Amino acid sequence: MRMYHIAPTLLCADLFQMRESMDILDRMGIDWFHIDVMDGSFVPNFAFGTDFLRQMTAVGKSPFYLHLMVTRPEEYVDLYAEAGVEYYCFHYEAVKNPFRLCQKIRVQGMKPAIALNPAAPIHVLRDLIPYLDAVTLMSVEPGFSGQNFMDFTYRRIGALRAMAKGHKLLIEVDGGIDNEIAKKCIDAGCDVVVGGYFTLFQKGKSIEDNYEAFQRAVEGCRTGG
């Protein structure tokens, strides 16, 4: 049986209270931090430079899952390996040779992962699965938080889970996820849900209360491996 995981996206955290938020999340027992990096080219937004990331990895106790929404992810492998991230997730649409990049990531001691935009067909990952530790299925268009979840993502989760049968592949879903959607994603076969504005960082509520509400919503969710 596979258990679910929640990965808070620090893009949704209050930047002026980042250290406090990370300490709370570590105490609450989150599985890893989801860190978005955006270059203003692959997506029309900017986020989290390397210096800021180093500060986060220095204080965070949980592992870091780096999600690069950048045009040349192969150029940053060495840099982010030094920063102390565990997963290095690049977009399928951003590279010409994903196999070579997966090898480079693993040589640097990180776990290769790939993200797939909503419009990209699942079957493009078929030959890549043996080289990956995780896949992030985007359930919104990448680049901005607070978008609505795309319902056809549930079918994509199931299709990827079936295609990955026999492989130890983590499936993460990212974008527009509230507590009810999280439950449905887990039931559909995903392992990791990214928690943002609609779950862990709901305004007017504490992170502790939001985390407990999430746990109650998905209680009992398990999917057969």
Whether residue 178 lies in the annotated active site:
no
- Catalytic residue, from 133, 174, 178, 191: name it: 174
Alpha-carbon gap, residue 196 to 8, rounded angstroms? 6
Q: Which of 14, 23, 26, 36 is catalytic?
A: 36
CA 126, CA 20: separation in Å to the nearest integer?
A: 41
Please check whether residue 110 is in contact with residue 130, taking contact to mean a CB–CB distance below 8 angstroms.
Answer: no
Question: For residues 215 and 211, what is the distance between their CA atoms, to the nearest angstrom?
Answer: 6
**Is 151 designated active site?**
no
Two tokens, residue 20 = 């406090």
Residues marked active site are found at 36, 174
